Copies of this chain bind each other. A is one copy, B any other.
Amino acid sequence: MTRVLVIDDEPQIVRALVINLKARHYEVDAAHDGAGALQLAAARHPDVVVLDLGLPDMDGVEVIRGLRGWTRVPILVLSARHSSDEKVEALDAGADDYVTKPFGMDELLARLRAAVRRAEPVPGDGDDVIVETERFTVDLAAKKVNRDGRDVRLTPTEWHLLEVLVRNTGRLVSQKQLLQEVWGPSYGTETNYLRVYMAQLRRKLEADPAHPRHFITEPGMGYRFEK
């Protein structure tokens, strides 16, 4: 299901959006200020963001920059300002679309669909979705790991970590990058998390967890997944 993050300080607009979006089977989170929005975005990883520029605590453009610092999620800006400069500033800061209030709900939803559609991965492009080693198989699309003919059960965090590593097969992924991708942009130094979860992955997937062949540690730098 597509997850939308709505950011607006006017309750009636939020309510209207939430009702319309939920009726169309979107999953909706809502924030009423910039700080809460950035936090929610990090925690929930929405598929698209609807952002009102007029927020009480910070400039809307700052919110865009805050998001663009770590994600390419589509951002659809709402604003009461019709000025061309405002639009240009928001778009150049990283927004994907700009709709002026009052807006038609049909149009907004169509623009939302367009933004989501664009962000979808090209079908058949990254279809090396299945990565195999001699011991286990990872299916990125089905979110399944198979080992010795049996499905291995992974927790959400374990899966997320595995996904980042597998998508970078052969490449070193720094500790900071792993932490930020899995736990959110405000993390970066909590390397103990990595130690714990890397141990879990090894215990579940490596033949000899004490001497890993696939999940390689590069001391002081990061981790690397090798086929």
Contact = CB atoms under 8 A, between A and B. Distances in A.
A122 B73 CA distance: 12
Give the oligomeric copy count: 2
Interface string A43-74: 00000000000000000000000000000101
A116 to B, nearest CB: 11
Contacts of A88: 106-107, 109-110
A29 to B, nearest CB: 23
A107 to B, nearest CB: 5
A110 B144 CA distance: 42
A170 B155 contact: no
Nearest to A92: B110
Given A106-B84, A172-B143, A156 B220 contact: yes
A196 interface: no
A153 B74 CA distance: 39
Interface residues of A, number: 40
A183 to B, nearest CB: 14
A114 B143 contact: no
A219 interface: yes
Contacts of A170: 142, 144
A111 interface: yes
Contacts of A106: 84-85, 87-88
Given A170-B142, A172-B144, A110 B87 contact: yes
